[in-house]
Structure 1
Amino acid sequence: MTNHAHSPPPAMTSLPRITPAATPRSVSATAAFGGGGPGCDTPRPSGRGSKNGAATSYGPYPPPELTSTWNHMKFPGRVNPLAPPPPMRRINNSWETTPQHWHNEKRRLMMQQREHERYHSAWAKPFYGPPADKEAYRRHYREVLKQQMSDRDVKLRTDFQTKVKESEAAVEYDRQCKLKDFQDFVKKFTYLKNFRDENKTFMETAWARDRHSKIMTDRYDREVMRYNPINWSGTLS
């Protein structure tokens, strides 16, 4: 890597004309027809071809096809002050790194100047440029507004459908819970009823057995008293 520590910064060249020869297409039209401006690799998504119909993002103005015609000015790469390239290689830990930091600072300033010029040059065109730029500016915001309205409508419809599905799921879950509670109640009622009936049958059987046992015991006692009386003289009642 060449050393740019003491070389003067390259002169800032004016940006090329942003407005193309023909009327520029909007972001939606560019995305719909699958093409971009010069130097534009991937157009911004307009959102109309997305899965749910809502745009993921709305690109700022000017769109890429108006701002991608850059001059190919190369900027020096960033230098690591702790490991500068030859011949500015560090000798020891106490070696000063002022030239390397100055190189990175100049690089940062040049890139800031380029972005500043690009931003303000691009934004001056819709207000002070030819009618094609002004119309492209107004068309862009009209289409973005229409797209936002369409996306909002899609979002409201999607949210409404989601809420309807949630409500239906909640109603179905409540119905299933009520049905389960009713089935549990019927099961418990049947179990308690059978338990009551079995208990009643068991008690009635026990009572009948006790009555029969008492009757048989009394009959046996009477027969014993008849054939083997304790009171031979009949004085005891």
Structure 2
Amino acid sequence: MRVLIVEDDSTLGEAISRHLQKQGQAVDWVADGALADRVLAQQSFDLIILDLNLPGLGGERVLEKLRRRDDPAPVLILTARGQVEDRIALLNLGADDYLTKPFDFGELDARCRALLRRSQGQARDLLTLGNTELDRRACEVRIDGRLVELAPRELRLLEVFMSHTGRVLSKTELIDHLYGFDETPGANAIELYVGRLRKKMEHSSVQICTLRGLGYVVKTPSS
């Protein structure tokens, strides 16, 4: 999934970025509120992790402008403010959740997964299609109960497909989900990953079908 981190503390921003990248997430990190606003006006994200005390433009203003553009991306606020009134104000402004500093990375992961589930209309971390299960919490894929070893980016690609069954996904959309601004995937990167994923998922009842000139669509056994 594509995640934007807006945090001016370089130590914390880099730590969160590396933590999510190890999970195969596509991560962009900016340290300035005004830059974050410009990025968000041009690029959509699956999740935004937003600090409040930012140079250029405060986090509250970034959030307010995001919602005025009717951008539905879930926003997790990082805040040192512990007052109930502050948290209520943030939620009323359009935040989906908040995490008080300092925090544990396990809780960060749990809250990120919960926001992604909610935005995708799912109740659990377990995605199931046919004989295939993807556990987002454990980062594991099983076919007929047997564990299938996938590289982090292959797992995230499968997650995108299983979260958008029946919908045609173009290569551009897939690149937007899987790569950050600092990454430059080759022209055939998506084809290569889809090919590897199909090979490893050959016993799965979930089919990744190519629509020439359009992209890919996942078909389930009932399709």
Q: What TM-score do the two structures reach when normalised by structure 1?
A: 0.19
More strand as a share of residues: 2
